[in-house]
Amino acid sequence: MLDRYWFGTVDRISPEAPVPVVRVTNEEDRLGGAANVALNAKSLGAQCTLLTVVGEDAAGDRLCELLAQHGVETVVGRDSHLRTVMKLRVIGRSQQLLRMDFENQPHHEVLEQMFADYQRQLPLHDVVLMSDYGKGGLAHVGRMIELARTSRKPVLVDPKGSDFSRYAGATVITPNRSELAQVVGSWHSEDELQAKAQALRQQLRVHTLLVTRSEEGISVFDDEGHFRQATQAREVFDVTGAGDTVIGSLAALLACNMPLRDAAVWANRAAGVVVSRFGTAVASHADLCALT
């Protein structure tokens, strides 16, 4: 995804309708979606490759340009039937006034054409990370997970939707609080949450379920039980991309053979860094060192 920001000043209300008039003074493009995940891993020193499909359009060109500028290796397919997802945010006085999404729902599996590329890239990497944004790119993800697990590669999935069965066999799934509730239903206590999370984990044959819980921090459910870390106390400016930071950081740290629970703690700290910044952002190695 391409995250585009229009920054401006608001001095008056439109005479045409009761809406603010934004005089745009600055424009900025940032990496969003899976590209932001890759950038978060790259910012911690990981050598990562982003495998994705974009449209044959200006937004896709700009996305590839930004990835190259940030030094993220890419294997990019172009699809004439796909519109590159772009989110345009209009900002006035440091407040988001409007967001416009430009996208289309593909009528086919857009990553199917990239499966041979996936097979070629798999032996070259230590960890596989799949970011699902419900845009049709991972409609048939099961075969990719199976191949990675057969190759003894950990598979991390940031899921989407109300059916997690397609992620069965993954190593780690990282839903947020509301995404988990869509699948297992609401809970009224920590004990009830643990019971539902562990039942889902066993049903999907997943090693670890890591739930991001916003101001409540993170919860890790695994064979050892339930581990929880509270959010680090800091001012929250913008939660955009916090989940991307968690899973991107987690993948980079697991690739360094850090134990998963320890990696989850540092991934949560990294997310605490980015929510104190505006828009899609990343946490660097220096940021994390400053927290020690």
Count Cβ atoms within 10 A of the Cβ of residue 99 and give its class: 0-12 exposed, 13-18 middle, 19 or more buried. Answer: exposed
Residue 57 bears catalytic tag: no
Q: What are phi and psi of 232, to 5 degrees?
A: -65, 135
Angle at 118 between CA 117 and CA 123, to 5 degrees: 110
Secondary structure tally for the chain: helices H, strands E: 9, 12
Farthest CA pair distance, the chain:
63
**Out of 3, 79, 222, 244, which one is annotated catalytic?**
244
The pair of structure tokens assigned to 191 is 């004990």
The beta strands (E) that lie in the chain are given as 2-13, 20-31, 49-55, 73-79, 86-92, 95-102, 128-131, 155-158, 172-173, 208-212, 218-222, 225-229
By residue count, the chain amounts to 292
Q: Report d(CA 171, CA 261) in Å as an integer.
A: 13
Q: Report d(CA 211, CA 32) in Å as an integer.
A: 21
Give catalytic residues, as residue numbers.
244
